[in-house]
Amino acid sequence: MNIGCFGANTSAAAALQAAARNPKVAAVVSRGGRPDLAGPQALTLVLAPTLLIVGGWDDGVIDLNRLGKV
């Protein structure tokens, strides 16, 4: 059975790290998180489709997402 991972705030990085380590993770959702905290090595290993939900006023996280840090 496939797995979905959800992380909010700083736990978004943990969800992405779990997806990087487990090929059974089929989807990742990050709500208002800091996916950059997962680290560049883990991020390159995430193969699952990933949805990043960021608030319109969260400029710092929006900028990180746009710069391709995710």
Q: What is the DSSP string of 7-54?
A: EETTHHHHHHHHHHH-TTEEEEEEES--GGGG-HHHHHH--S-EEEE-
CA 65/CA 21 separation, integer angstroms: 21
Boundaries of domain holding 32? 3-66
What gap in Å lies between CA 65 and CA 24, rounded to an integer?
A: 25
pLDDT tens, residue order, the chain (70 aa): 889 999 998 899 999 999 999 999 999 999 887 888 899 999 999 999 999 888 777 777 777 766 654 4
CB contact at 8 A, 13 and 38: yes
How many structural domains compose the chain? 1
Residue 57 DSSP symbol: T
